[in-house]
Amino acid sequence: MEWVIVTGDSKGLGHEISKKILETTNLGVIGISRSSTPGRLELQKKFPNRYEYIHFDLSEIHDIKKLFVNQIKKFERIVGLVNNSALAYDDIASNMKYEPLLNMYNVNVFAPMLLTKHVIRQMILYKIPGSIVNISSISAHTGYKGLAMYASSKGAIEAFSKNIAREWGQKGIRSNCVVPGFMETGMSESLNNEQKQRIYNRTSLKKETDIESVAEAVVFLLTDKSKSITGTILHVDNGTI
Catalytic site residues?
A: 150
**Pairing mode of beta strands 3-7, 28-33:** parallel
* Contacts with 216 (C-beta within 8 Å, 6 or more apart), sequence order: 20
Taking each helix axis from N to C terminus, what angle separates 12-24 and 211-222, rounded to the nearest 10 degrees? Answer: 50
State the alpha helices, DSSP H only, in the chain.
Answer: 12-24, 38-46, 64-67, 98-105, 111-125, 148-168, 193-200, 211-222
Taking each helix axis from N to C terminus, what angle separates 148-168 and 111-125, rounded to the nearest 10 degrees? Answer: 20
Backbone angles phi, psi at 96, to 5 degrees: -55, 135
* Contacts with 144 (C-beta within 8 Å, 6 or more apart), sequence order: 151, 199
Containing 3, the helix (H) or strand (E) segment is strand 3-7
User: 100 with 25: CB under 8 angstroms?
Assistant: no
DSSP-assigned letter for residue 111: H
Give the other-Cβ count within 10 Å of 48's Cβ: 9
